[in-house]
Amino acid sequence: MTSLSAPLRRLGELQWRRGFFEWARSDGVTWVYIFKTLLAAFVTLWLAMRLELPQPRTAMITVFIVMQLQSGHVFAKSFYRFLGTIAGSVVTVALIALFAQNTVLFLPSLMIWFGICSAGAVRHRNFKGYGFVLAGYTAAFIGLPALAHPEGAFMAAMWRVLEISLGLIVSTAVSAAILPQSASTSMRNALYQRFGVFAGFVAHGLRGNSQRDAFESTNVRFISEAVGLESLRGVVAFEDPHMRRRSGRVSRLNSEFMAITTRFNALHQLLERIRARGHAEVVTAIEPGLQALATLLDRYAGRALTDADAHQLAEQMALYKEELPSHVRRLRAIFVESNPSEDDLLDFHTAYELLYRFVDELLSYAQTHASLADHSHAREKWDEPFMPQTSWWVSAAAALRAMSVLGLLGSYWIATAWPSGATMTLVAAATVGLSAAAPNPKRMSFQMACGTMLGAVVGFAETFFVFPWIDGFPLLCMVLAPVIVFGAFLASRPQWAGYGLGLLIFFSIGSVPDNVTVYNAYAFINDYIGMVIGMLACAAAGAIILPPNSRWLWSRLEHNLREQVVFAISGKLRGLGSAFESRTRDVLNQAYGLAAGKPEVQRNLLRWMFVVLEVGHAIIELRREQAILPVHPAYAESQSWRQAIRVMGRSLIRLFIQPSRANLERSLAAVDQAIYCVRDTDEPFARHFDTSALRRVQSYLHFIRSSLLDPQSPLAELAPPRPPKD
Amino acid sequence: MPREIAFHGVYMPTMTLMFLVALGVGWALDRFISGLDLYRFFWHPALLRLSLFVCLFGAMALTVYR
């Protein structure tokens, strides 16, 4: 871009300079995208015609499907599309070789393959999932037309792979080399700005003046950013060698960020509860330490954290952390003089334990961020990857939907021998595949059907009234360009993406000529009718067969969310923290997206997530504490406090799998019992704030107890009305 | 170099093979450059990669069609 700067500087002297740059950043990006799509499509079409591939339009459609605003996405999509196409072709050729003479066997096996692929697509949800989509519908695209003459299946598969590879090569080259919009820039922006938002959020929360709504919405934002950043990281690795060298650190940064948000939420909730109970003396005892941290973070609030800033932040955090223990000891001495109750003292300890760990984790985060400046760094080694979590039910529903659409339309086609039945079936297969990963498949399919109808009308006009008059490739480009520009424009707007995709793909399937143009109006109209019927069938299937935005799915996902506590209690300890954080967030992010437009459901899910994160996180801390205990009889497995904690774990599993009043009461009793047991155990070392393992254990137990009793949590609805304590 | 090579009885253009070899060499070069962090000296890394590939493939193709 630097070579452009000279003419731009002259432009800059004009009045409308600001307006122009704003346009270049927003709408300008869309126009660059449209221009690149157009260029890639025509280069591909020309090459495909020049190389005499049998279906140049397939190559061109590939361009429309993989073209995205940012080049990293194009790389990732192309890579997985290629793998998917190969897998699909191999399977079809094998199926045709096995069942060519027998439709009754061929169609069900194709259906099963398609179901497996749709389930895989939903399970992965990112570009890997896209590979599954392709593996599924490539099989249908090759297999169904080849059913009539199976001897051509192998060549059809070969040609299709070649056509698609051509489209992929051209679109990746165009998107990377011409006016590139890199995904790594947007990832870096997201990463750097996120901390600014977080610093403001923390400073606000520590001072105790954050609103519940703002607290929740900011958390939702952090969650979706954490999930988005992980998928962006996978994309950027394809595109940018600079960021690929830092991939491990970015992953670590994301995981550490999730840990600090959870830790901060825990601290914040605890402070809120203490404040809500109205114990002013506890609050005044805790506050000085919080104020210092809030002022420290104020400096970073609301702006992007650069590498230099991160370095500075790390130094300041290290200093603050060093001073914290002595500071706390002083505050505690003052607090103890006022003769607090045992509960209040526990609150004090727990709050400072959380604060200390929060500061520790923040320091580690800042160090990781600062390490991004180096080309290689010891922090790059990170083996606690982001773990996505998808409910099997969602995948199974997608598989069932895909199989029934393919089965129904395929049998209709075979039963009626409608010549356009093959087109109908395979278009339905493509639509099911492309819309499977969309949050609302019904709407997506319907939009695609509308786009196709528009494509049919335009295509008819072009094929029968315009094409006969033109001659040569440049003129063909001229008449195709308006349709492609319009389609690409629609596709670049998220709310109209379905219309754009439908128009582009299905206009091209029906109306872009091959090397030898065939004019057959009957087949043309029949095919388009078949396509629209196929898509409407998909929309209907999306609405009828286990629709993903309905009640059963939310309750399934809510259950899934609660099961993460079970995972925290019984999962393998190595890498557990990161896995737990990411899985919980991933489930919530999905459920939140599916429940769009239902604020009541979303709120409920969010409240469950807070409880799950708090309790799960505390349990993981407890397990870590127990794993690193020194060898001493007081810490032996057979000690009563360790047994009490195990009993508590079992009761919590029961509670989170089946929340009921009895289970809640049992859990509360178990937690109380554990707290007593820990308190009554003698420890070989002095019971001091930062040296005693048992004091930390007690803090976490107290924290679990206060989470279970939180009036804001969904568990509160189960609890019997309590007389006000104290 | 022959323009076509027989692979298990299937004739395919040498260019196809060259393409794959060029891809492999290009990938190795890319790894080497990014390993030494040399991309920071270039304005447009993606264009550099593409041009390198074109040069490699072109040079190999010249040995066949000349």
Contacts B50 to A, Cβ<8 Å:
173, 176-177
Q: What is the pLDDT of residue B56?
A: 93
Distance, CA of B16 to CA of B4 (rounded, Å)? 9
Specify the DSSP element, H or E, that contains B7. strand B4-7
Q: What is the pLDDT of residue A48?
A: 94
Taking only the tens place, the pLDDT of each residue in A623-635 is 988 888 877 777 7
How many cross-chain Cβ pairs, A to B, lie less than 8 Å apart? 29
Distance, CA of A62 to CA of A56 (rounded, Å)? 10
Distance, CA of A250 to CA of A228 (rounded, Å)? 13
Distance, CA of A590 to CA of A610 (rounded, Å)? 16
Distance, CA of A282 to CA of A81 (rounded, Å)? 59
Q: What is the pLDDT of residue A6?
A: 59
- Among A117, A126, A135, smallest CA distance to A235 is for A126
Per-position DSSP letters for A459-506, written without gaps between them: HHHIIIIIGGG--SHHHHHHHHHHHHHHHHHHHHSGGGHHHHHHHHHH
CB-CB under 8 Å, B37 with A245: yes
A663 and A719 in contact (C-beta within 8 Å)?
A: no
CB-CB under 8 Å, B34 with A176: no
Chain A nearest-CA distance from B1, in A, is: 23
CB-CB under 8 Å, B47 with A177: yes
- Give me the residue from A2, A71, A240 closest to B43, CB to CB: A2
Which are the contacts of A432, defined by CB distance < 8 A and separation ≥ 6? A114, A118, A137, A401, A402, A405, A406, A441, A445, A538, A541
Chain B nearest-CA distance from A165, in A, is: 13
Distance, CA of B57 to CA of A173 (rounded, Å)? 15
Which residue of chain A comes nearest to B54, CA vs CA? A173
| Of A642-646, A672-676, A718-722, B28-32, minimum mean pLDDT range | A718-722
Task: Compute CA B51 distance to the chain's CA centroid, rounded to the nearest angstrom.
Answer: 10
- Give me the residue from B39, B43, B47 closest to A242, CB to CB: B39
Q: Which of B44, B48, B57 to mutate to test binding with chain A, by most A CBs within 10 Å of its CB?
A: B44
CB-CB under 8 Å, B34 with A177: no
Q: Which of A43, A165, A181, A375 to mutate to test binding with chain B, by most B CBs within 10 Å of its CB?
A: A375
Band (pLDDT 50/70/90 cuts) for residue A90 is very high
- DSSP H helix total and E strand total for chain A: 27, 0
Structure tokens at A444: 């997506």
CB-CB under 8 Å, B33 with A242: no
- Give me the residue from A71, A180, A241 closest to B39, CB to CB: A241
Calculate the alpha carbon distances from A546 to A310, A369, A394 in Å: 48, 44, 9
Structure tokens at A45: 């079409």
Band (pLDDT 50/70/90 cuts) for residue A726 is very low
CB-CB under 8 Å, A2 with B37: no
CB-CB under 8 Å, A245 with B50: no
CB-CB under 8 Å, A180 with B46: yes
- Give me the residue from A176, A177, A245 closest to B34, CB to CB: A245
CB-CB under 8 Å, B45 with A240: yes
Contacts A239 to B, Cβ<8 Å:
46
| Res. A246: pLDDT tops 60 | yes
Taking only the tens place, the pLDDT of each residue in A585-621 is 888 888 887 777 788 888 888 888 888 998 998 999 8
Q: Which residues of A252-271 are buried (b: 16+ CB within 10 A; e: fewer)?
A: bbbbbbbbbbbbbbbbbbbb
A118 and A140 in contact (C-beta within 8 Å)?
A: no
What 8-state DSSP symbol labels residue A181? -
Q: What is the pLDDT of residue A688?
A: 58
Q: What is the pLDDT of residue A634?
A: 76
Q: What is the pLDDT of residue A460?
A: 92
CB-CB under 8 Å, A241 with B46: no
Give the pLDDT mean for A173-197.
Answer: 86
Distance, CA of A267 to CA of A272 (rounded, Å)? 9
Q: Which residues of B touch A (CB under 8 A)?
A: 30, 33-34, 37, 39-40, 43-47, 49-50
Specify the DSSP element, H or E, that contains A690. none
| Res. A1: pLDDT tops 60 | no
Q: Which of B36, B39, B42 to mutate to test binding with chain A, by most A CBs within 10 Å of its CB?
A: B39
Q: What is the pLDDT of residue A481?
A: 93
Higher model confidence: residue A583 or residue A148? A583
Give the pLDDT mean for A41-45.
Answer: 94
Contacts B47 to A, Cβ<8 Å:
176-177
First to last CA, chain B: 10
Calculate the alpha carbon distances from B64 to A483, B16, B23, B26, B61 in Å: 41, 12, 17, 19, 5
First to last CA, chain A: 68
Chain A nearest-CA distance from B57, in A, is: 14
Q: What is the pLDDT of residue A122?
A: 83
Contacts A71 to B, Cβ<8 Å:
46
What ipTM was reported for this prediction?
0.84
Q: What is the pLDDT of residue A419?
A: 83
What 8-state DSSP symbol labels residue B43? S
- Among A643, A721, A665, A706, smallest CA distance to A275 is for A706
Q: Which residues of A561-581 are buried (b: 16+ CB within 10 A; e: fewer)?
A: bbbbbbbbbebeeeebbbbbb
- Give me the residue from A173, A240, A241 closest to B50, CB to CB: A173
Chain A nearest-CA distance from B41, in A, is: 12
Contacts B33 to A, Cβ<8 Å:
241
Share above pLDDT 90 across residues of chain A, in percent, rounded to a whole number: 13
* Average pLDDT of chain A, as a whole number: 84
- Among A314, A394, A340, smallest CA distance to A593 is for A394
Band (pLDDT 50/70/90 cuts) for residue A295 is confident
CB-CB under 8 Å, B30 with A177: no
Higher model confidence: residue B3 or residue A89? A89
Distance, CA of B4 to CA of A499 (rounded, Å)? 46
Q: Split chain B (66 residues) into runs of 10 and give each run's mean pLDDT.
A: 81 86 92 85 86 92 84
A204 and A569 in contact (C-beta within 8 Å)?
A: no
Residue A583 CB coordination number (10 Å): 23
**Domain regions of chain A by residue span:** 26-181+389-544, 183-239+246-374, 551-717
Contacts A245 to B, Cβ<8 Å:
34, 37
A121 and A130 in contact (C-beta within 8 Å)?
A: yes
CATH topology of domain A183-239+246-374: Methane Monooxygenase Hydroxylase; Chain G, domain 1 (1.20.58)
Specify the DSSP element, H or E, that contains B12. strand B10-13
- Full 3-state SS string of A615-639: HHHHHHHHHHHHHCCCCCHHHCCCC
Per-position DSSP letters for A526-566, written without gaps between them: HHHHHHHHHHHHHHHHHHHSS-TTSHHHHHHHHHHHHHHHH
Q: What is the pLDDT of residue A47?
A: 94
- Give me the residue from B33, B37, B46 closest to A375, CB to CB: B37
Band (pLDDT 50/70/90 cuts) for residue A437 is low
Question: Residue type for A547, please?
Answer: P
B23 and B53 in contact (C-beta within 8 Å)?
A: yes
Q: What is the pLDDT of residue A392?
A: 82
Residue A17 CB coordination number (10 Å): 13
Share above pLDDT 70 across residues of chain A, in percent, rounded to a whole number: 95
